[in-house]
Structure 1
Amino acid sequence: MYIYDMPYLERKKLCNILDQNNSYEELAAAHMQFDIATVQKLRREFYRGNSPSDELLNLWSYHNHTVLELFVLLSRMRHYQAMMVLKPLVDRKYHHLIKESPCLPELMADLHLSASEKILNAPQVADVSRENNESVSPQNHCLKAKSPQPKTNGISCISSVTESAGAIPQIPYEELMKSTNNWDNGSILGRGGFGTVFKGTWKCTQVAIKRIEKKEGSPESSYQQVMQSTTELHCLNAYRHDNILPLYGYSIGGPQPCLVYQYMSGGSLEHRLHIRNPSLVLSWPARLQIAIGTARGLQFLHTIRDKPLIHGDIKSANILLDPNDIPRIGDFGLAREGPQADYVKVSRIHGTRPYLPDEFMKYKKFSTKVDTYSFGVVLFEIATAAAAYSEKRENKFLRDYVVDHEGDVVELKDPRAEGGDNYFKGLVEIGKLCVKGKAKERPEMVTVLIQLEAVS
């Protein structure tokens, strides 16, 4: 069961418990690894009359975490009262955690390896097959590295990425330390399941440095981090485009492997859509150009080679903006080669739930139309500035919120941006085509790009 599928009464009871004595703060900072700024933002929810714990669960649910994972984190906190609320929602074999010592490595390994219990946020170089079970290799120009078995020393096997990097330069770890003032906390841009992103100055150039940090748990989880980084190196080395995030270099010589990107001072599209500073609110022409640039990057990935490269995790958080608000698609850790036509069936699901279509979630049918669907949700985000998923709406998923809206759709327009009704309607109309229930009814990204360029 995913966090966003929790029954209302159990979720409310859990939040009431975590709100007491501010238990949510320890859960967020020490166990979910959110940064200090996020914890401070959660605290402010209390003064607005909202539950900080409920908002924390919303944030965590965006990454497809499960009730079982939350149960394990609460066991680490020895928060048995909260665990009792979740007990009926998890498998009996985990109930012993309420009485026994937390931090069981074998349990965490089970969590990472069970594809049936969660949508993995790490890439899987998995076998795929067509409907007639014909074997198809997922290895192409982007994914042709051999997949070594996980090693007991975990992330040290990142050394195998050298072959993947091609002409991308290897950077000494010490230079990256110096560029971030010894990994100063004030340089942190964000955190994720992979580790931490720092802002730095390297070779007199502002950069963003993804420092990949070893996860607690099984060697398999560290191996997955390595494979995600290897996949990203392959993709960014093989696919270069004005709307794809440039990779400047990588480092494998220090205690933690790093990837070094162009620093995008405009921030993520997700951040800009929800920013409160009126002077930084995106205008309607800027929003349209961001949509066009992203579509241009996606159609490039889908058409540049014999077989399309499917990004697999298109969302506003993975679209970064430069100083002129030109978009760059980032985070290729989940990218996979797709079929030339129709779809393939994959053995595992990956991505972010509010952006994924039913045929992928339910039947593991993987095609370029998965990216098309995800992009449609992004168009709705651009038009409305609403979250892709929110517990505060009757229709929690933005796709349903927009498509099922009764009345004038202009009522959903982001009120902070003046005018722009034609831009708004164009974005929404094209978005609705992209999120059609049947994959075959969705347009290819080349068609979406042409349609967006016609909006005025």
Structure 2
Amino acid sequence: MVPPGIGCRAKESQSTIIPIALGISIGLLVLLVGSSLVYWLLQKRKLVKLKEKWFQQNGGLMLQQRLPNQTGSMETTKVFSTEELEKPTDNYNKSRVIGQGGCGVVYKGILSDNRVVAIKKSKIGEQSQIEQFINEVIVLTQINHRNVVKLLGCCLETEVPMLVYEFITNGTLSDHLHDKSRSSLLSWDKRLKIATETAGSLAYLHYEASMPIIHQDVKTANILLDENHTAKVSDFGASRIVPLDQTQLTTLVQGTFGYLDPEYFHTSHLTDKSDVYSFGVVLAELLTGKKVISFDRLESERNLATYFVSMVKDDRLVEVLDDNIHNGSNVEELKKVANVAKRCLSVKGDDRPTMKEVAVELDGLRVQGKQVRKEANLNKKESEYSLSASAHSLSIDVGVGYSSTGTIDSMGNQALTPTDDGR
């Protein structure tokens, strides 16, 4: 038998243990949740501090200091978060890489609003590259032109800065010129259109932007093409905004070998005529389809700019023209464009035309060429109509006593044959 009172004490102890255990469980849960919350807050604070550190490291303060001094604004330039750029690129997957060079890597991405963009990610640990990125943001906020690639935003709160641009679908002009299958599709009309649009955008930078801008790295690899072969000038990392009271800047020489202005190379004095020289090389490349530097060519032909100028001076342009654009009937037009290129490639900057003059001249040649081709097509149609009418007149009855059938003599005249109609 259970002694009296023991069962009651057991029940009492059970009823006491359960609340204690429950209290301990709740206490542990609260402690766990509290610890997790504290840890999360600490991590969030740590991440915020890290983002602040990266923002400063990536030139955010420099950007804030310089932008108020510019007449442009960043109203249309969005500041993207890390998450907004990681997802569109599959966390910067290699399969999304569409280009890379000295400044960094470019990825193709699709934003949450379905816009296709190009995301340019700087190289890690190179302060000079970071300065170029900040410079590009500052320069592009001053530009609004249909033939300049549009900057959509930037992200500075990551380990390296990133810029977000509109995505241009058709690759670079360099890709088209130096790929056999593509170059054959790049007609002279398209090439002249691209040249005219590029010249117009550079003239805008030099004369119509809120403050004059020198691109400093004009080349076919920096001219993008959309699906209609519309030119979009890109890569403003090396560009310089020129104070209104100056006509030249003294800088460390930057640019691409083969396109680099020789006067700037020797003096370090950068002017708008440096862009003119580089554009002259682009024109030579469009006309010849040749690479600007090639060690596979003879020594005298390795540098396209100097070789091209010598061939134009010797009236031997036809020998270096790209077979895809030279059809025999457009030689005079090609020679006129070649002469524009030759003037752009003058060794002395003062002997070169301005980009505005180049843009006007190319536009005039393009309009003139269209008119010539239009008239040629009309004459061709008239000629075809005339031949058709002549052939038709030979097939009808030409009078009493003659048949509509006859023979053509050696001079191309029809000899009509009398009919035997009994008269």
Shift of 1:256: 2.8
Is 1:180 equivalent to 2:89 in the alignment? yes
Aligned pairs for 1:348-427 (under 5 A) are: 348-393=252-297, 394=299, 395-405=301-311, 406=314, 408-417=316-325, 419=327, 420-427=330-337
Tell me, yes or no, if the aligned pair for 1:190 and 1:196 is still in contact at 8 Å.
Answer: yes
Cα shift at 1:408: 2.4
Q: Does the CA contact (< 8 Å) of 1:342 and 1:367 recur in 2?
A: no
Aligned to 2:222: 318
Inter-partner Cα distance in structure 2 for 1:279 and 1:403: 23
Q: Distance in 1 between matches of 2:127 and 2:183?
A: 43
Paired residue type of 2:337: L
Q: Which stretches of structure 1, 4 residues or longer, exceed 4 Å deviation after superposition?
A: 152-155, 339-343
Equivalent residue for 2:61?
A: 160
Aligned pairs for 1:204-353 (under 5 A) are 204-215=114-125, 222-278=126-182, 281-305=185-209, 308-338=212-242, 343-344=247-248, 346-353=250-257
1:285–1:423 Cα contact (<8 Å) kept: no
SS of residue in 2 equivalent to 1:166: coil
In 2, the alpha carbon distance for the partners of 1:307 and 1:260 equals: 23
Aligned residue number for residue 105 of structure 2? 196
Shift of 1:252: 1.7
* Structure-2 change in CA distance of 1:341 and 1:387 (3 Å): farther
AA aligned to 1:195 is G
8 A Cα contact 2:294 2:302, kept in partner: yes
- Tell me, what secondary structure is at the counterpart of 2:293? coil
* 1:171 aligned residue: 80
The equivalent residue for 1:436 is 346
Question: Deviation string for 1:84-106 (max 9, x for gaps)?
Answer: xxxxxxxxxxxxxxxxxxxxxxx
Distance 1:323 1:422, change over 3 A: farther
1:379 is displaced (CA, Å) by: 0.4
Q: What's the CA shift for 1:205?
A: 1.1
Q: CA deviation at 1:235?
A: 1.0
Given that residues 380 and 427 in structure 1 are in contact (C-alpha distance below 8 angstroms), is that contact kept between their aligned partners in structure 2?
no
Distance in 2 separating the partners of 1:398 and 1:346: 27
Partner Cα separation in structure 2 for residue 453 and residue 371 of structure 1: 18
Please say if residues 343 and 365 of structure 1, whose CA atoms lie closer than 8 Å, have aligned partners that are also in contact: no
Secondary structure of the corresponding residue to residue 87 of structure 2: helix
Partner Cα distance (1:184, 1:237) in 2: 29
For the 8 Å contact 1:275–1:281, the answer to whether it is kept is no
* CA deviation vs aligned residue, 1:367-424 (integer Å, no higher than 9, x gap): 1110111100000011111111111222221111111125521121111346243443
* Cα pair distance change 1:342/1:379, threshold 3 Å: farther
Alignment correspondent of 1:24: none
Code of the residue aligned with 2:60 in structure 1: it is S
Output the amino acid matched with 1:324: N
Contact kept? 1:349, 1:361, Cα under 8 Å: yes
TM score, norm. by length of structure 2: 0.66
Q: CA deviation at 1:306?
A: 7.3
Q: Distance in 2 between matches of 1:279 and 1:437?
A: 30
Alignment CA distance shift 1:279-1:356 (3 Å)? closer
8 Å contact 2:293–2:302 — kept in the other structure?
yes
Q: Note the residue ranges of structure 2 that are not aligned, 5 or more in a row.
A: 1-52, 68-72, 370-423
- Output the CA distance in 2 between the equivalents of 1:171 and 1:255: 14
Larger Rg: 2
Equivalent positions of 1:15-26 (< 5 A) are: none
Change in Cα spacing, 1:442 to 1:279, as seen in structure 2 (3 Å) is: closer
Name the residue aligned to 1:76.
none
Q: Deviations over 1:306-350 (max 9, x none)?
A: 752111111111111111111111111111134769953514211
Equivalent residue number for residue 402 of structure 2: none
Q: 1:200 to 1:305 in 2, by over 3 A?
A: closer
Q: Which amino acid aligns with 2:61?
A: S
Aligned partner letter, 1:158: G
Identity %: 32
d(CA) in 1 for partners of 2:59 and 2:326?
A: 49
> Number of residue pairs matched?
299
Distance 1:345 1:180 in 2: 38
Q: Deviations over 1:203-258 (max 9, x none)?
A: 2011111011214xxxxxx2211110111101111111111110111112223321
TM-score (norm 1): 0.61
The CA distance in 2 between the partners of 1:243 and 1:361, in whole Å, is: 28
Q: 1:212 to 1:452 in 2, by over 3 A?
A: same
Paired position in structure 2 for 1:47: none
Q: How does 1:21-100 map to 2 (within 5 A)?
A: none
State the AA in 1 paired with 2:59.
I
Q: Secondary structure at the match of 1:383?
A: helix
Structure 2 residue 358 is matched with structure 1 residue 448: yes
3-state DSSP of counterpart to 1:261: strand
- 1:166-200, Cα deviation, whole Å (9 max, x unpaired): 22101112121111122121111111122210111
Residues in 2 aligned to 1:338 and 1:162: alpha-carbon distance in whole angstroms:
17
Q: Which has the higher contact order (CA 8 A, sep 6+)?
A: 1
Shift in alpha-carbon separation, 1:208–1:278, aligned structure 2, 3 A: closer
Q: Distance in 2 between matches of 1:209 and 1:376?
A: 30
The CA distance in 1 between the partners of 2:352 and 2:85, in whole Å, is 44
RMSD: 2.3
Deviates more, 1:341-350 or 1:380-389: 341-350
